[in-house]
Structure 1
Amino acid sequence: MARIHAALAAALILPLPLIACGGESATENTASEAEGAPVADYERGPHNGRMLRDGNFAVEMTIFEDGVPPEFRIYAYRDDKPVAPGEVQLSVALGRLDGEVNRFAFKPEADYLRGDGRVVEPHSFDVTVVAREGGRTHRWKYDSFEGRVSMPAAAARAAGLAFENAGPAEIGEALELIGRVELDPSATAEVGAKFPGRVVSASLNVGDRVRRGQVLARVESNESMQIYSVTAPISGVITERRTNPGDVSGSDPIYVIADPSRTTAAFPVFPRDMERVRAGAPVQLSLLEGNRTIGSTIRDFRPVADPMTGALVARAPLANRDGFWRPGMSVKGVLTVDQRQVPLAVKTEGLQAFRDFTVVFAKVGDTYEVRMLELGTRGPVWTEVKSGIKPGQSYVTKGSYVIKADIEKSGASHDH
C-alpha cells in the first residue's frame, strides 16, 4: 500500500484569528509548535496528511515517498469535498535552520497537486503555504521540526561537546589487524662469563630489576685464578637464571635480561592485505577490550612468511615506559590504507544512527539539527560525504550521542 506521511508531524496547530487583506479575499492562518515538543495531535485528512483550513476551503499536506524521492502531494477540499486540482494554484516555501529557503510550485496530477522538487531530508522547516482558488487567496504558516533540539553554550561545554566544520580531508579505509605484544628483539641480552671458571657468587633471581653495569655474578678464572665480575650489558629484568655458586661456567649464558619497556606489536598480515600494508604506515594500537590507545608505525616485517598461512608478520614499536604492555597480551592495530583527498568529509566519531540514516548533528547557534548523509569511504578518523551537509557547516564530533539522546527524549521525530 502506498505510504503517505504527514508533511510535518509532531506539531500541534494553534489557530489564530484570521487576518483579512484588502482587494481580493485573503486570509492567513498561523500555527506554531514548541521546538522539541512531544508529538501532539492535529487534524489529519483522508490521506493521513495535515489539514490546513480557511473558511470552507482546506488543503491536505502530505509527503509521498513510496518508491520515489520524497515529494509534496497536496489535496484540496471545499466544504470537505474534493476540489479538482486544476482549480487551485499553490506554492510552498520551506525555511531551513541555516536560512536556506526551498520553494515549490505545483501542477495538477490525478486528484492532487504535485510539487516540482524533492523534499530534502531532514523534513524540518518553517512552512509557508499559499493557495489561490475561486478568486480568493489563502495563506498558512506553521513550524514542523524534526531531529532538532536547543542547548545553551554552557550546557554544551559541560557535556563535553566538540565541533568541526565539514570540508575536505585526506581519508583512507580502515584495516584492522589482531596480534600480540612481543619483546623487541634488541631488548634481550644473554650474559655469560668472559672466561671459564668457578661461579663464586650469583645473588640475583628471576624478576629482579637490574641496571646497566650492575654486578650479576663473580667468577674465578680457571687460568688466572683471579675473581672477576660479570655485569649487566643492559638495564631490565632478569628473565632467566642458569647458574648457582659452585657451578663451573663455560660458554653458555648464566643470566638472561630483558628490557620490558622495549616492546613491539606483531601482526600477521595475510596475502590479501600485503599490497596495502607498507613499512612506515601509521597504526593505532589498542587492547582488544579497554580504552588504552597509542600511535605507532609499521617498522618492518619478519623476513620469512608463515609456511602454513603465507602470512608475513608486521612489527610496530610499542612504547611501554610504565610496563603496561606485557609480552603475550593480545593487541589490535588499525591502519589507514588507500589514502586519498576528498572534497567533503566529516569526523567518523561524530556519526550516529538516526531512523534509517547515518547522520551528524549540525550546529547553528545554540540549535542542533540532524543531517542525513550519503557516505563514501569510511576511515578511522574521517568519512567521505557525498551529500547531506554543506561545506563549512559546523557539526558535533565528540559527544554527538548527547544530542541524539536529547532529540529522542524530545519526541521531535519524523512521522512516517
Structure 2
Amino acid sequence: MHAWHEGQPVAPEDMTVEVWLTRLGEAIEYYSFAPQDDYLRSRETVAEPHSFDVEVNARIAGEQYHWQYASHEGRTRIPAGLAEEMDIVTRAVGPQTIPEVLSLTGRVRTDPDRLARVRPRYAGQLQSIEAGLGDAVGQGEVLAQIQSHESLQTYALKAPIAGLIVRRDAQPGGNTGDEPLFVIADLSEVWVELDLFGRALGRVRAGQPVRVETLDGSQAEGVIDWVSPLAAHASQSVVARVVLPNPDGRLRPGEFVRGEVTVAAAEAALAVRESALQRFRDFDVVYARVGETYEVRMLELGRRGGGWVEVLGGLAPGTHYVVDNSYLIKADIEKSGAAHAH
C-alpha cells in the first residue's frame, strides 16, 4: 500500500492503516499493515470471493482518515417468494459419506432359469398357432394345436412358464420334430453382466452396491451377486453379475448399460452436491444463501462420488447453499454485472 500527501509520497514509517472487511454472513476480518521497503504490506491474504463491505482507518502525515465503501462481486438478491417460484432449493453443508465408484459397462441378459424352450411332446403337424412373437402368455396357456403323426390325435402345446414369446419357429401346417417351436422368457427379473478389466478386477466383489443406467436414462439399483472366477479368452474380461427386478420391462435383454459400483467409502467433514457446482471465473463454486441474498463461494474440492464432492476449503460448516437450479443464480449475477474480473 502506497500513500501520497500533497502530491508527495509518504514514507511507510509515517503512516498507519487498518482495514476491516465484513463478508456476507461471516465474521469481520481485520487487516493490519507494516512497513516493507517503500510501502505498507499486510501479512494476511484476502481470500476469495473479494466481496465485502470495507472500512478503513488511516493516519497519514499526522492526519486521521476514515472511510467506508462496498465492494461486492458474485452477489444478488432474490426475494423468498420469487426464489420459491424459480424452484431454487438450498441445504446446509455438512458431513457426508463419499463413495468411491467404478464406472463399468455391460449388457442386460435373460436369466437362463427363466427361459423356456417349448418342444412338442410328439412329432406331428401344426394344426393352429395360438400365440405370436412378442405375445405375453400365462403358464398353461395354449400355444399351438398339433396332430400327432403316430396317433393322429390332436394335442395342445402349452406354455410351461409365464412370460413373453421371444422366438417362434412354428408355421400353420408345418411339421414338427424335436426342435423348440417357441422360446418364452420371464423378464420380471433379469441379469446385468458388467465387464471387469484392469484395476476393477481386484476391487469388485459380491455384495457391493451398484447403480445401473440404460442408454435412455432409466436407472435401477442392486448389488453384485456373483463375480466369475473365469476370464474371457479373447478380451481377458471378467463378468460381474447383478440380478435386478424388472416388473415394468424397462430392462431389455441385449441392451447396453452403464454400471457404477461402490467399491469403498470415505467420510468427508464437508461435502456439497455435485449438481450444485457452477463455474465462476476460473473457480468451481456454489452459491451461498444468507436471508434473501445469494453470493458465490469459491471452493477447494477433494474426492468425488455418488453425486457428492468433498469440500476442503471455501465454505463454512452449516452454510446454506443452492442445490437445485443454481444456474439461475449464476445467470442473474451475470445479467446484473455483479461479477468482475481480476
Give the TM-score taking structure 2 as reference length. Answer: 0.91
Does 2:111 align with 1:187?
Answer: no
Q: Does 1:131 align with 2:58?
A: yes
Give SS of 1:274's match: helix
Instruction: Quote the Cα distance in structure 2 between the aligned partners of 1:266 and 1:355.
Output: 43
Equivalent residue, structure 2, for 1:339:
265
Aligned to 2:247: 321
> Which sections of structure 2, spanning at least 5 residues, go unmatched?
none
Cα shift readout 1:36-72 (whole Å, capped 9, x = no counterpart): xxxxxxxxxxxxxxxxxxxxxxxxxxxxxxxxxxxxx
Q: Bigger CA drift: 93-102 or 317-326?
A: 317-326
Range with greater deviation from structure 2 (100-109 or 178-187): 178-187
Which residue in 1 is equivalent to 2:85?
158
Runs of 4+ in 1 over 6 A off after TM superposition: none
**Equivalent in 348, 358, 364 of residue 284 of structure 2:** 358
Post-superposition CA distance 1:177-211 (Å, at most 9, x none): 22233333333211123455554433323222222
* Partner secondary structure for residue 50 of structure 2: coil
Among 334, 339, 342, the residue aligned to 1:413: 339
Match of 2:99 among 172, 195, 198: 172
Q: Alpha-carbon deviation of 1:92?
A: 0.5
Q: Given residue 136 of structure 1, which amino acid in structure 2 is its aligned partner? A: E
Amino acid across the alignment from 2:220: I
Whether 2:326 is the aligned partner of 1:400: answer yes
Letter of the 1:129 counterpart: V
Mapping of residues 15-94 of structure 1, within 5 Å: 74-94=1-21
Q: Give the stretch that moved more between structures: 168-177 or 106-115.
A: 168-177
Q: Report the Cα offset of residue 88 of structure 1.
A: 0.5
Indicate conservation of the 8 Å contact 1:180/1:328, yes or no: yes
Task: Specify which of 130, 141, 144 is matched with residue 203 of structure 1.
Answer: 130
Structure with greater proportional strand content: 2
Deviations 1:149-191 (A, max 9, x none): 1111122222222222111111023322222333333332111
8 Å contact kept, 2:281–2:341: no
Task: Rate the CA distance shift 1:258–1:113 in 2: closer, same or farther, 3 A.
Answer: same
Q: Does residue 1:382 correspond to 2:314, yes or no? A: no
1:334 Cα deviation after fit: 2.3
Tell me by how many angstroms 1:364 deviates.
0.8
Per-residue CA shift, 1:254-283, capped at 9, x if unaligned? 211123443333221113112222223222
How far apart in 2 are the matches of 1:354 and 1:174?
A: 27
Q: Is the 8 A contact 1:373 1:387 kept in 2?
A: yes
Aligned amino acid, residue 376 of structure 1? G
The reply on whether 1:238 has 2:165 as its aligned counterpart is: yes
Q: Is the alpha carbon distance of 1:75 and 1:383 closer, same or farther for their aligned partners in structure 2, counting shifts above 3 Å?
A: same
SS of 2:33 mapped into structure 1: strand
Aligned residue in 2 for 1:95: 22
Q: Which moved more, 1:182-191 or 1:107-116?
A: 182-191
Deviates more, 1:320-329 or 1:90-99: 320-329
Q: Which moved more, 1:204-213 or 1:259-268?
A: 259-268
Whether contact under 8 Å (1:271, 1:310) holds in the other structure is no
Residue 28 of structure 1 corresponds to which residue in structure 2? none
Tell which deviates more after alignment, 331-340 or 247-256. 247-256
The match for 1:45 is none
Q: CA deviation at 1:243?
A: 3.4
**Displacement after TM superposition at 1:98 (Å):** 0.9
State the aligned residue count: 342
1:142 and 2:69 correspond: yes
Contact (CA 8 Å) 1:163, 1:396: kept in 2 or not?
yes
Aligned-partner Cα distance in 1 for 2:281–2:113 = 53
Equivalent residue number for residue 37 of structure 1? none
Paired AA for residue 319 in structure 2: Q
Q: Deviation per CA, 1:348-384: give whole Å up to 9, x if none.
A: 1111121111111111111111111111111132111
**SS of 1:298's equivalent?**
strand
Conserved in 1, the CA contact under 8 Å of 2:100 and 2:305? yes
Q: Tell me if the contact between 2:195 and 2:237 (Cα under 8 Å) persists in the aligned partners.
A: yes
Which AA in structure 2 matches 1:353?
Answer: R
CA distance in 1, matches of 2:235, 2:312: 39
TM superposition shift of 1:235: 2.1
Q: Aligned equivalents of 1:216 and 1:138: distance in 2?
A: 98
| CA distance in structure 1 between the partners assigned to 2:31 and 2:231 by the alignment | 64
Which consecutive unaligned segments of at least 5 residues does structure 1 have?
1-73
Match of 2:184 among 257, 261, 267: 257
1:304 aligns with 2:197: no
Residues 360, 396 of structure 1: 8 Å contact kept = yes
